[in-house]
Amino acid sequence: MKIAKVLSIMIVAIFAISACIPQAQPTPAPTQAPTMEPTAIPEPMFKDIVDTAVADGRFTTLAAALTAADLVETLKGEGPFTVFAPTDDAFAALPAGTVESLLLPENLETLKSILLYHVVSGKVMAADVVTLESAETVGGSPISIKVEDGKVYLNETVQVIITDVEASNGVIHVIDSVLLPPAELSDIVDTAVADGRFTTLAAALTAADLVETLKGEGPFTVFAPTDDAFAALPAGTVESLLLPENLETLKSILLYHVVSGKVMAADVVTLESAETVGGSPISIKVEDGKVYLNETVQVIITDVEASNGVIHVIDGVLLPPQ
């Protein structure tokens, strides 16, 4: 009995002690962080070329010109376009009154041709521009490209000062001057008449019925005597040549000043003679950096280009051999 009582007391004591010992808490199962799908980095939102230029703030004159020439919607179009954009300072550097004149309604076609001369079809980044020697513009005439001392120049003197301004429909390169397209060339006759120093030559061509010939497709190279050159002939010579009975002689003299083909000065100086349309050759001599025809007639101005050839101005009248 005593032993049983002692055992009962010990069992009770063990349970009492166990109740006082903190129970180990179950370790919670690890929770998995929620997974998220990776999101693509959004592409930068570009504005179109016109809005990009307007937002920049340095192209207010260009923006006004585009509006006046009705080209805004064109340059907001799909493109892509490459625009060489003159700054406000570039427009301000034009002769006084030029911009105001171009914005007049009667000059808007000229303005449009100037603006389109700043636009190239396609997106041409700077890395590609520097590999080119020229680029055809939307206006139809090319611009020349030159890299010198790490700088890019258009048409020799207009510098590209900021490159690769991207737009949604192309790219803008900022330039420090306004590009002017080459003037529309006239034919040889109209070029000579417009010059003002060839009134006798023009009268002689008309009398000899050669105007339409020298307005033709050609190309021709004309060694053109000035009014002073004709005036240096013996007194009465020109008047005599203009008489109806002497017009064949006049015609042969005039055609002795014309060479078939477009022969620029750089090529003239490599020749010893050139066959004329009149059938007889003229001799060519270079002496002390000057070019002489038939020994004594000097070429005083070279490479006056025309739509159907080139004019070299001479200080004497060439007379064909008898």
- Residues 16-61 pLDDT 10s: 444 544 555 555 555 555 555 565 555 557 899 999 999 999 999 9
CA neighbor of 302 nearest in space, from 292, 293, 294, 314: 314
Q: CA-CA distance, 322 to 315, in Å (whole number)? A: 21
Decide: 173 and 84 in contact? Cβ < 8 Å. yes
Structural domains of the chain, ranges and CATH numbers in brackets: 49-175 (2.30.180.10), 188-314 (2.30.180.10)
Residue 154: how many CB atoms within 10 A of its CB?
22
pLDDT digits (tens, 9 = 90+) for 135-194: 999 998 999 999 999 999 999 999 999 999 999 999 999 999 999 998 888 999 999 999
Place of tokens 């007639």: 297
Chain segment 74-102, per-residue pLDDT in tens: 999 998 999 999 999 999 999 999 999 99
- Distance from C-alpha of 45 to C-alpha of 135, rounded to nearest angstrom: 28
DSSP 101-114: HHTSGGGHHHHHHH
In three-state secondary structure terms, 40 is coil
Alpha-carbon separation of residue 206 from 127, 135, 213, 242 (angstroms): 54, 41, 10, 10
- Claim: this prediction has a pTM higher than 0.85: no
Side chain identity, residue 235: A
Place of tokens 């090319």: 142
Contacts of 167 (CB under 8 A, 6+ apart): 46, 47, 48, 49, 51, 52
